[in-house]
Amino acid sequence: MSKKLYRSKRDVMVCGVCGGIAEYFDIDPTIVRLIAVALILSWGTGLFAYLIGAVIIPKNPYQ
């Protein structure tokens, strides 16, 4: 069975994008959130990427 990227339903702060990425790569979601905040504050592209992820990445149907 292959791994699929889903937005998390358990580890949600805004839309579950960072939680889903953390589950996919099996890392701490805090690290993913810190990277996302750094990208948002430095270039502003992080916010655009997060919004795109919130629209494109489906919710996890198994949680």
Q: Would you state the pLDDT for residue 1?
A: 63
Question: What are the structure tokens assigned to 1, written together?
Answer: 């069975």
Dig out the tokens for 58 from the structure. Answer: 């489906």
The domain limits of the chain are 1-63
pTM score: 0.85
Placement of tokens 């579950």 in the chain: 16
pLDDT at 28: 95
Residue pLDDT tens, the chain, 63 long = 688 999 988 888 889 999 999 999 999 999 999 998 998 888 778 888 889 999 999 998 887
Nearest to 32 by CA among 18, 11, 52: 18
Structure tokens at 41: 């504050």
